[in-house]
Amino acid sequence: MKNQLAKLIGTSLGFGYAPLGPGTFGTIFGLICYVGMAYGYGIVEGETMSMQLDYLLIGLILVFTWLGTWSAKELEAEWGHDPGKIVMDETVGVWITVLFIPFSWTNVLLALIIFRFFDILKPLGIRAIDEKMLTPFAVMLDDILAGVYSAITIQIIIYYFQT
């Protein structure tokens, strides 16, 4: 039972089982959740940021960083360190990317592209975490850092191109 729960969480409700690009599917899962939450709060495209949505995202980021770390630890014996099927790290990383930005489909698409750029190429210390820190938390940490870099990048883009 515990192993099945770890798989359900680690794979972001099964999105990590995608045969091609599971990290992209984990990111898409995170964005589907974000869009659902935005609509749930009645946020319409172009509306300014919602602090309620941001508070919810912060809570989810904290809870699922812990749960993702737990699932990576639980599944390490069976799947090895940082297997492609564990995509909760991408889900959390893209939630960090969309924090404090106005909701729009353009920004959702930007978040997908920018986050995947940082997650795949792993610049600015992300690769060092990915290759040198071989702990269950490191599975989450490299994508958390990718999410921070993505959040900064998207904020710059919004400031210069969407104001």
Predicted pLDDT at 46 = 63
pLDDT value for 60: 98
Amino acid at residue number 140: M
Please tell me the distance from the alpha carbon of residue 114 to that of residue 112, in angstroms, as a whole number.
Answer: 6
Question: What is the mean pLDDT of the segment spanning 111-134?
Answer: 94
**Are 85 and 155 spatial neighbours (Cβ–Cβ below 8 Å)?**
no
Q: Are 48 and 102 in contact (CB under 8 A)?
A: yes
Distance CA 74, CA 134 (A): 14
% of the chain surpassing 70 pLDDT: 97
Average pLDDT value over all residues in the chain: 94
Distance CA(97)–CA(109), nearest Å, equals 11
pTM to 2 decimal places:
0.95
d(CA 43, CA 115): 23
Other CB atoms within 10 A of residue 80 CB: 9
pLDDT at 96 over 70: yes
State in Å, rounded, how far the first CA of the chain is from the last one.
Answer: 50
Q: What is the pLDDT of residue 71?
A: 98
Interval 98-112: pLDDT, tens: 999 999 999 999 999
**What value does the mean pLDDT take over residues 69-92?**
96
Q: How many residues does the chain have?
A: 163
What is the C-alpha to C-alpha distance for residues 114 and 108, in angstroms, rounded to an integer? 10
- CA 119 centroid distance within chain: 10
CA distance 157 to 163: 9
pLDDT at site 70:
98
pLDDT of residue 7: 98
Tokens linked to 73: 């630890």
Identify the DSSP state of 48: P
- Confidence (pLDDT) at 43: 85
pLDDT of residue 49: 64
Other CB atoms within a 10 A radius of the CB of residue 163 amount to 5
Chain segment 30-80, per-residue pLDDT in tens: 999 999 999 998 887 766 667 889 999 999 999 999 999 999 999 999 999
Please give the pLDDT value at position 41.
Answer: 86
Tell me the backbone φ, ψ of residue 41, rounded to 5 degrees. -85, 0
Where does the pLDDT of residue 139 fall: very low under 50, low under 70, confident under 90, or very high at 90 and above? very high
